[in-house]
Structure 1
Amino acid sequence: MKKDYLFFLLTAAGLGTAPAAQAQSFTKANQYLSVGASLSAFNYFGDLTPRVSFASVRMAAVRPGFGFHVTQRLTPYVSVRGALSFGRITGSDQQAAGKEAAYRYYRNLNFTSNIQELSVVGIFDLVPNHSQAVNRMPIVPYVFGGIAGFHFNPKGTVDGGTVPAGLKPDAQVELQPLRTEGRYYHRAQLAIPFGAGVRLKVAKNMDVGVELGWRKTFTDYLDDVSTTYVSVARLSTPAARYFGNGITRTDQNTPEQMDVPGALRGNSGGKDWYITTGISVNYILNKNIKTNKSR
């Protein structure tokens, strides 16, 4: 009985000290650097999605993107990643809402914007790696979060409504300088990137990953739409008067007070988001990857 009790105590002590021993065995030699590239699909949530809802996605509005990143492993669980990404987002009342959604149909707004993003995020692996790179886990799910700076530049396409002289159908015009709602906003903004993914080891020095990430922004003008219509007198150029007012469809069924000053043009109750879904390839640069001495 005493032997069984002693064996139990020794086993418990061994289990209790195992994580500490593993943590102590993780040294600078276990830290490694990787570089990689990604292909992504970009989408956005805002006033020109089918519904002004975070869950509203129009697959036809998905646009491609790509990026480059550098990742440094710091601990068995934690890595830090810096990334430079490029993509495009788009939205359209005409394509997202038919005549059954009268307000959206007659509002008739649209935009396309390129996104350039520089981000730094912390990555927390749900499966730890206490070993050197060559002995890393074959499948690793993870979550991430951090900070990003991005630049956007919404452009509108001349399509429908009352087109003034000097604007050609299908021409694209930068919207921010027009102040279509009488307001100025910065095209360089901050965002909070967060999400989850999974990494697969496909070679001793290469991983392939799949990742879904959200960007919580602090602007409601990714699509150049946020508040109310303004007086035409405050729109100083033909392009401003068109995108701020004249693009609205007009016929006998146009809702009353559709685009008068003070009428709702957008929903300022929430900020815009964009989302990325991507596949990445990561190449490990650590010199110890070639000399695995464990046998």
Structure 2
Amino acid sequence: MKNFCSIAVLGVLFFSLVATTDADAQRFTRKKTYSSVGVHLNAMNYFGDIVPEADFTSLRFKSTRPNIGVSYMRRFTPRISVRAALAWGRITGDDAKSASQNEAENYPRFVRNLRFRNDIKELSVVGTIDLFENRGTYLKRPDWSPYAFAGVAVFAHNPKAEDNSGNFVALQPLGTEGQLAADRGAKGYEDQYSKVQIAIPFGAGVRYKLDRNWDLGFEIGWRKTFTDYLDDVSSNYVLSDADLPSAKAVEMANRSFDRSVHGPGQQRGDKTDQDWYIVTGFNLTYILPTNVRSPKFR
């Protein structure tokens, strides 16, 4: 599913870039370029170790959380614009909500009993390509504008989980999979992960022209990350509690109902798949007015 989506979006982007020739860009004068600002209200989901599979079949509406953002976009050619956006959102996962104790294949995940929430702050820059071109001014843009986008993002994250006292505890400083052990390399533990990461955003959307300056859009975008620790779960349980730095780390590292299934050194997550998150929702865009002069006649 993930590979199909990536190939499909990149294919659309490539086709549209080929269709926009140098001659097209030359006929689109600077007087027809324009900028816009927008606000975004979205839903946010994650795909990783605390869902059955990292694709749409694993989407759990109980784990959907809000995402809000602002953006600035500049149109450069009849099809191509560049958009910079700043957003905040939350992702969450819970074994108790995404796995059933009555299903044999999901029972190990249910008794694992892990959960998390993660507030993500994202700065992104993407290129957007419209399906329908507009060679005129912003006043002559199409009523409907389907588009695809892709780019790069940097995001800050900090996974947390609720402890036995009901307090949310930051998990990265605890080294729940042995990342802080003095001899972590010899025992096969990973290095401590960074709370600042890079992602590749891509997706598609459609804009509707409300009036001369306002557009309403709907968009769905995937974020391909390069970390498996959005949920603080990746590989195996530590070989010994002595490899954890504190009693709180011991509490948060293994919360299983059944230690015969989830004991020292046994599988905790799946490090062969990195985590993803997805942002879906609406955006309201205001086109900044430009001087559109009519031809003079003498």
TM-score normalised per structure 1: 0.84
Deviation of 1:102 after TM superposition, in Å, equals: 1.7
Structure 2 partner of 1:107: 112
Among 251, 268, 284, the residue aligned to 1:242: 251
Structure possessing the higher radius of gyration over alpha carbons: 1
Matches within 5 A, 1:1-295: 23-49=25-51, 51-55=52-56, 56-100=58-102, 101-158=106-163, 168=165, 170-183=166-179, 184-230=192-238, 231-245=240-254, 247-250=255-258, 256=260, 258-288=261-291
1:204–1:234 Cα change, 3 Å: same
SS of match in other structure, 1:177: helix
1:180 to 1:286, Cα distance in 2 relative to 1, 3 A? same
Secondary structure at the aligned position of 1:29 is classed as helix
1:259, 1:293 → 2: CA distance?
76
CA–CA distance in 2 between the matches of 1:188 and 1:87? Answer: 15
Gaps of 5+ in 1: 1-18, 159-166
Larger displacement relative to structure 2 (61-70 or 232-241): 232-241
Question: Contact 1:129–1:137 at 8 Å: present in 2 too?
Answer: yes
Distance 1:150 1:22, change over 3 A: closer
Higher deviation after alignment, 231-240 or 265-274: 231-240
TM-score by length of 2: 0.83
Which 4+ residue blocks in structure 1 deviate beyond 3 angstroms? 19-25, 291-294
- One-letter amino acid of the structure 2 residue matched with residue 238 of structure 1: A
Shift of 1:128: 0.5
Residue aligned with 1:287, SS: coil
What is the alpha-carbon distance in structure 2 between the residues aligned to residue 275 and residue 21 of structure 1?
36
Deviations along 1:82-128, one digit per CA (max 9) or x if unpaired, are 00001000000011112122211211000001010000000001100
SS in structure 1 of the partner of residue 110 of structure 2: helix
User: How big is the shift at 1:293?
Assistant: 6.5
Aligned partner of 1:163 in structure 2 is none
Deviation at 1:20, TM superposition (A): 8.6
Q: Which amino acid aligns with 1:207?
A: D
Cα deviations by residue, 1:222-265 (Å, 9 ceiling, x for unpaired): 000000000211112111001112x1114xxx6x3x23332100
RMSD: 1.8
Deviations 1:135-168 (A, max 9, x none): 111111000000000011110112xxxxxxxx51
Equivalent pairs, count: 259
Identical positions, percent:
46
Distance 1:20 1:109 in 2: 54
Describe the SS at the equivalent of 1:288: coil
CA contact (8 A) 2:54 2:276 kept: no
Q: Report how far residue 192 of structure 1 moved.
A: 0.1
Counterpart amino acid of residue 225 in structure 1: V
Task: Quote the residue 2:9 is aligned against.
Answer: none
